[in-house]
A = this chain, B = another copy of it.
Amino acid sequence: MSNETRQITTAFQKLALFWRASQWQAAGGAGLNPTQGEVLQRISRRSARLGELAAMLGISQASLSDTVSSLEARGLAERRPDPEDGRVRRIEATAAGRRVAADLPQAPAALERALEEMSDTDRAALARSLVGIIRALQEADAIPVQRMCVSCRHFRPFAHADAARPHHCEFVDAAFGDASLRLDCDDHEAAPAGEAAAIWRRFETA
């Protein structure tokens, strides 16, 4: 393994610890813990199945069920039956839950500042590298499929000549640039396996 790989994993480790610690602080302000805060943010954007949330957070369904129950007890979330499948519970944020979620920072402020201080090209390169890493982890089944443009059936990389906005999303039927690539898009629909690989190759080698 290369030395740089070691550097990078060490850095990720530090960032992961930092992230977790920041979450205790941030969520703590609202009387929540990190997991509750994370769940609340996600469901306030889009309702989700319980199992889906558990997979995203990397904890067991049972643990997540606990967390949802405690959010429910505080009136911040609700379980609703899914009309299409009687086994499924869709977890939704209540209005109060959305208000609380809106006050939670999306990312630690210090991290945002650090990123804003980077040069535009470095930041763009970093974003691109990280998208690639997440995609590789997703491919390796190490993390659940993420709602990223690069694995979405609506995504057409480099469909336009305009260098500033070369990509196209067929769902919203609009051109956009690298900076607008989504990692967690509400309108994501997973592309079929073969197609996803082809999309990625086009994106990556451009």
Contacts and interface: CB of A to CB of B under 8 A. Distances in A.
Q: Give the secondary structure class of A's interface.
A: helix
B57 A123 contact: no
Copies of this chain:
2
A180 B112 contact: no
A163 B42 CA distance: 47
Contact of A5 (B8, B115, B143, B181): B115
Given A14-B146, A16-B15, A17-B56, A5 B123 contact: yes
A58 B24 contact: yes
Q: How large is the interface on A (under 10, 10 to 19, 20 to 34, 35 or more residues)?
A: 35 or more
Contacts of A7: 127, 130-131, 179, 181-183
Contact of A183 (B10, B112, B133): B10
Interface stretch (A70-78, A81-89, A92-100, A102-110): A102-110
Given A18-B142, A129-B122, A112 B13 contact: no
Given A17-B57, A20-B58, A137-B18, A116 B11 contact: no
A193 interface: no
